[in-house]
Chains A and B, each alone.
Chain A
Amino acid sequence: APAASYQDATDWYRQREQQMVTYLGEFGYIHDASREAGPAGLTSKEAYTAAIKRLQRFAHLPETGVVDRRTLELMERPRCGNKDELDETQDSSRRRHKR
C-alpha cells in the first residue's frame, strides 16, 4: 500500500533494513564479528549490499542488492535455523590458501 507520507515511507524502509541486517546476520551472510560490531563498524554499505546479493543468489532471486518485494517475501518464509553461509573460520576446507 502507498505510504501515507514521506516520513512513513522512510520509517518503513528503515524498519525493513534493520530486519534485513538481523536476517543476514542470523543466517551467515554477515560475519558474526561484523554483526557484533554493528553497521558503523566492520560492515560497510558495500558489504551489506553484497550480503543481500549473496542471499538473493542462494535463493535464486534477481540480484538487486536491495530489500525488494521478493526478498521480503523470502524472509517471511519458514526455514531451518542453521546458517546458509559457513563463516570461513568455521570451514577450513573452504578457505583460500597461498600456494
Chain B
Amino acid sequence: YVTANSKWEKNDLTYRIENTTPDLSPGRVRRILSDAFKVWSVVTPLTFTEVMHSDADILIQFSEGYHDDGYPFDGKGSVLAHAFFPGNSKGGDTHFDDAETWTFNSTDGVDLFMVAAHEFGHALGLAHSSNTEALMYPWYQGYTDNFRLPYDDVQGIQTLYGSPSNRLPNTPRPPIVVPDNRDRDRGGEAPITPRPTHPPTKDDTPCTGNIDAITVIRKEIFFFKGSKFWRRGPNGLAAKPTEISKFWYNLPSDGIDALYERSDGKITFFKGDRFWVFSSNHMVTNFPVEGRRITELGVGKNVKKIDAVFTWPYNKRTYLVTGDMYWKLNAKEDFIEYDYPRDMSIWKNVPVPLDSAFKYWDGKTYFLKGDQYWEFYDNKMRTRKKDGRPIGRLLGCHNGELKSDMTLR
C-alpha cells in the first residue's frame, strides 16, 4: 500500500451526493455509496454520514468530460473515476465518469460499488497499490460477490487512522491537515480569492500591484490596470497613462483581463468570456465588435474569464491560465491542444489565481500576483525564488511612483 501526504484529522466525516447516474435509481446509488463507505468504516474508527443540504467533507458527483477540476474525463472506457486526497476545497471529492454504464453486481457495465470503494480509499488518503489483490490496485478488476477489504488495504488505512478500537473522543478538531504545497496531488488546491476590483483613483498606480494584464508589444512593455494602461520602452515611461478604449477602439472601457502579442504580430485581448484580435490598434477586419467567445478556443463553457496569457520562450507556445488550470494553444494559436487543461502546480511555486504573466525582453517569463512578481526558471520548471519580489522593481517604480526616467534592467 502507499499513503498520500494528507489525511483527515477527524474521524466523523460527512459526504454529499450532488447528483446520480441515470443508469441506476437514486435510491440504489445512495445505498451503493453508503456500502462503499462501510468498506472503510468497519476497519477504522471513521464514520461517514450523508448530508443533503449542508456543506460536506466529501462531495460526490457524476459528470462527463471537462467538469471544472482540471482533470477532464475521457468518455466511455479508460478512466472511470477519480478522487482527491484529503484536504480543503476539493479534498476528498470523488467524481465518476458518467459516460460509463454504471451497474451493480453485473458484468454489463462498470460496478459502481467496486469503483466507489476504491475512490473512497483515495478520498481517505490512500494512493495506488501495486498489489494486484488490493482494492487500491489502479486497474478495474470487475465486481466481486461478498467483497471483503483485502489485507493490503486494511494495513494501509489503519496506518493512517488506526483500528476501530482507536476511536477518538468526539471532540472538535481542526478539520484537516493541509499540505504545505499545492502540488498536483489531488489533495486540495490553493484557495481561490477573487481579484479585487480597481476603481480608478488618483492613488491607484501600477506600483501598488494588482496589475490586470501585462505584455511586451514591439519592445515596449504595456501594463494595464482598471481602465488605463501604461507603456514603458527602452527610453523610459510614456508621459501619461492612456484610457484603453481610446487607444484600442471597441475594447471594454472598464479594463481587460489578459493580452498577448501573437507570433504574427497581432494582439489578442481577453475580457470575461470574450476575446478580441487587433492589428496594431485596429480590430482585425470582420472581427465581431462584441468579441468572440473564449469557448471558440476550446476552453470549457464554465470558464468565465482568462486570468493570464503568456508565450513561454522555452517552447514558444502560448498558454492560457484560469484559477488553478491552464491550457496550451496549438501552433496556429487558434485552438487549445489535446490533453488540456492541466493543473497549474506543474509551474512550481507560481501562485494562483494569477493576476497576469508575460515574456519579458530578457526572454524570461514573469508571473504577477498582488504586489509581487516571480521569475520562472524554465530548466527547473519552477520559479527562481519561492517568494515573490516587489512588483515595483519590475515596473520601474520608486517610492511608490512610476519613474519616467527609469529604464528597465
Contacts and interface: CB of A to CB of B under 8 A. Distances in A.
Interface of A: 22, 25-27, 32-38, 41-42, 57-60, 74, 76-84, 86-87, 89-93
B2 interface: yes
B346 A84 contact: no
B78 A32 contact: no
A82 B346 contact: no
A82 B140 CA distance: 13
6 contacts: A33-B381, A76-B78, A78-B110, A80-B115, A81-B71, A86-B185
Contact of A87 (B110, B119, B184): B184
Nearest to B3: A93
A41 B4 contact: no
Interface stretch (B122-130, B207-215, B397-405): B122-130
Across chains A and B, which 8 residue pairs bring their CB atoms closest together, nearest first? A33-B381, A81-B82, A90-B185, A81-B79, A32-B346, A78-B140, A90-B183, A84-B128
A40 to B, nearest CB: 8
A39 B346 CA distance: 16
B139 A59 contact: yes
Interface stretch (B46-54, B192-200, B337-345): B337-345
A80 B119 CA distance: 8
B346 A60 contact: no
B174 to A, nearest CB: 19
A4 to B, nearest CB: 27
A77 B128 contact: no
Contacts of A74: 139
Contacts of B342: 32, 36
Contact of A33 (B3, B82, B97, B348): B348
Contacts of A93: 3, 5
Given A79-B138, A87-B184, 9 more contacts: A33-B381, A36-B342, A37-B315, A37-B378, A42-B381, A78-B77, A79-B140, A80-B140, A91-B127
B3 to A, nearest CB: 8
Contacts of A78: 77-80, 100, 110, 139-140
